[in-house]
Structure 1
Amino acid sequence: MPENKTETIKAETRTEFGKGAARRIRRDEKVPAVVYGAGNAPSHLTLPGHDVMMAIKNGGSNALLYLDIEGKEVLALTKQVQADPIKGFLEHIDFVEVKRGQKVTVDVPVHLTGEAKPDALVVTENTTISLEAEATHIPEYIELSIEGAEVGTLVQASELVLPEGATLLDDDEMLIVNVTHAPTAEELEEELEEAEAEAGIEREESDEDAEGDDAAAEGDSDSDSEDSDEE
């Protein structure tokens, strides 16, 4: 469970606001941002687009950055990232200023490793957990091995191995992983047919079924003809 690396990003104070100003900033391959916290007024900034995108990509959802604001270095924790849903470029970032040794509340993803038994289906009930940890010791993710897990295995939040100094804020009994029986192809087909029947969906006859019905009909016809000849 690696900790987030802290990178330094050079920031500029932003004086223009509104949608038009934000578009101009993004056209210059920069990102508008704001830093809250530490009892100070919010700082509105402009950040270099590529540098901050790589820092957040490497640091994850809780990326911790040093922001160099006109010579003053501020330790900032990423709280919200807005990105274009189609093109993917960053539209705006919210940070909160933190201090070394300060405890913060964060949501950290759970990463599964290994393979369960062949007849097992691993269902992830919760993909993240809420932790309290020092701002400079936030894990990028929590690792959970499911190697060899058998049907019936349940993993609760309290069973996760947390880094030193981190405290679980979620319910100890919150279910993370539920290992169930992997359905066979026949079981899946039966479930599909039941669902279609409940929805009133009638399947169209396949070519193979139609050919089979035709062959059966021809067989019945030949049999009737032979019986007629015998009479």
Structure 2
Amino acid sequence: MATFETITAEDRARAGKGVARATRRDGKVPAVIYGAKQEPSLIALDPRIVLRELKRGGWRSRLYEIDTGKTKTRALMRDVQFHPVTDRPEHVDFQRLAAGEKVRVAVQVTFLNEAISVGLKRGGMLNVVRHAVEVLCDPDSIPDHFEADLGPLDINDNIRWHDLKGTEGARPTIIDRDFVVATVAAPTVIAETAPEPAQAATAPAPAKGGPAKAAAPAKPAAKK
């Protein structure tokens, strides 16, 4: 069973830029809950709650139950808009969840056994192609993360979708191939090039006392 984290909020009666600005002046972050074929719900959040969730990471796949004191709504945090100068959160979009209605969500990949990976111990480099994988799943079975075991991987080996653990009940949005999540690349060897020989010095100027230049031939005498 999926775990929902409760966050408190306040109802907002009206929409509009003026109302949103007034909400920010009151020290709150305006937000909206949309989806599940229902009218959008307007709420206001404590900015400390928003910042806390953003710092935790993986907030796009975390399940929330938004409690306004009057209603409780299950939702995913979909987008956060920030002030262009202060970087403070200015607006939050939530997607309402409905039982039996699959949602698109990005699930983070956790890499295990990096310290004992055969290829990495031989000097290989971990090349992560996807830090998260987008899947479709039921709201009640959204996984916290997928696991990728690096232990048995040698150089030039890779981890694909079918290698991940914890994917039961989730269907990737990429369905035309068993896509790569990460690879162990061969170590990069930079060949040392021998220093180029110094450029030959330019020919020295003739030494003093050398042969003088030949005198220019005399002009013929003018005819009388």
Q: Do both share a fold (TM > 0.5)?
A: yes
Cα deviations by residue, 1:74-128 (Å, 9 ceiling, x for unpaired): 1111122223466442121111111345432211122323142232011112222
Q: What is the rounded CA distance, in whole Å, between the counterparts of 1:30 and 1:63 in structure 2?
A: 22
**Aligned position for 2:220:** none
Give the C-alpha shift of residue 133 in structure 1: 2.2
Question: What 5-or-longer segments of structure 2 have no aligned partner?
Answer: 202-224
Find the residue that maps to 1:50 and give its secondary structure: helix
Give the C-alpha shift of residue 31 in structure 1: 1.0
Task: Give the TM-score, by structure 1 length.
Answer: 0.69
Q: What is the rounded CA distance, in whole Å, between the counterparts of 1:16 and 1:168 in structure 2?
A: 36
Residue 38 of structure 1 aligns with an amino acid whose one-letter code is: A
Give the aligned CA root-mean-square deviation in angstroms: 3.1
Specify which of 116, 119, 137 is matched with residue 133 of structure 1.
137
Residue 149 of structure 2 aligns with an amino acid whose one-letter code is: S
**Aligned position for 2:41:** 43
* Identical positions, percent: 26
Residue 9 of structure 1 aligns with an amino acid whose one-letter code is: T
Comparing both structures, which one devotes a greater share of its residues to helix? 1
Give the C-alpha shift of residue 36 in structure 1: 0.8
Task: Give the TM-score, by structure 2 length.
Answer: 0.71
**Aligned position for 1:183:** 188
* Contact in 2 for aligned 1:11/1:69 (Cα 8 Å): yes
**Aligned position for 2:74:** 75
Q: What is the rounded CA distance, in whole Å, between the counterparts of 1:14 and 1:118 in structure 2?
A: 62
- Check if 1:161 corresponds to 2:139: no
* Contact in 2 for aligned 1:10/1:47 (Cα 8 Å): yes
Find the residue that maps to 1:42 and give its secondary structure: strand
**Aligned position for 1:205:** none
Give the C-alpha shift of residue 155 in structure 1: 1.4
Question: What 5-or-longer segments of structure 1 have no aligned partner?
Answer: 191-208, 218-231
Cα deviations by residue, 1:179-218 (Å, 9 ceiling, x for unpaired): 211113x34x67xxxxxxxxxxxxxxxxxx8xx969x98x
Change (3 A) 1:25 1:13: closer
* Contact in 1 for aligned 2:106/2:135 (Cα 8 Å): yes
Give the C-alpha shift of residue 54 in structure 1: 2.2
Q: What is the rounded CA distance, in whole Å, between the counterparts of 1:119 and 1:140 in structure 2?
A: 31
Find the residue that maps to 1:41 and give its secondary structure: strand
